[in-house]
Amino acid sequence: MTPKASTELPSRIISLIEKPGKEWREFNTENLFAKYVLSHWSALIDDWSNDPDSPLIIRKTGPVRGSVTVHETGREVIFCDNSPAQWVAEEVFKLSTPRLSDIKEFLAQDKIPFKFIAKRGEQNSAKYKCVSNGDFNKAGWKLCHIDAVGLNSRKGIYLEDINFLKKKFKLLLDPAIFFILPKSIGGLGEVRWFIDAQR
C-alpha cells in the first residue's frame, strides 16, 4: 500500500527552499523591474481600484473572458484570465507610465487583453475582444501571484463585497505584489515556501 505523502516538510528542507526564494526576490527587485515604474503602477492600480467609473477586472473561471457584469453598486466588472496581468508586466518592462485617463482610453479602444486565446463563439458575447499577443510567454517568462487572485465564490459577483473585489483586482494587477520567473524554473512559482519568500 502506498503511504500518503506528507503535506509538511522538515524545517531544514523548508529552509533550503526558502533560500533561493529570498535570493530571487532580491534579484527580481533589483534587476527586472525599474523601481520608479513599479511605484507608478502600484499607485495607478490603487487609483483605478478607487475610481467608481473604472471597471474592476476579476479573474474567474466560467464566465466569458472579456464579458462584463454590473455589481450592485453600479460598477462594471470585467472577467479575465491572467492575460491583463501579463499585459501590465509587459508595460512595466517598456517603462510605460500611463495615467488613469490613458487606461480608460485603452479600454475604450479595446487595447487591454482579457484572454490568451479566444474559444469558439466566445467573442460573440464578449464586450472586450482583445486577445493577448503572447509576447510575455514567448520571451520565456512566467508570471506568478503571491496570493490567490481567482474568485472562487459561487455567490453572484454582483453581491460580492465591493472591497473584496477591489482587493482581488489589486492582487491580480499590481506588479509590486506579483513576481516573475524564467519559464525554465517556473515550477518554483507553485511551491508554497518559495512563494512565501517573495513577500
pLDDT in tens, 121-151: 999 999 999 999 999 999 999 999 999 999 9
Distance CA(21)–CA(19), nearest Å, equals: 5
Hey, is 90 helix, strand or coil? helix
* The amino acid at 164: F
Distance CA(31)–CA(10), nearest Å, equals: 32
Is the distance from CB of 128 to CB of 114 less than 8 angstroms? yes
Domain parsing of the chain, residue ranges: 34-184
**Is residue 72 very low, low, confident or very high in pLDDT (cuts 50, 70, 90)?**
very high
The residue count of the chain comes to 199
Distance CA(20)–CA(26), nearest Å, equals: 10
**Is residue 76 very low, low, confident or very high in pLDDT (cuts 50, 70, 90)?**
very high
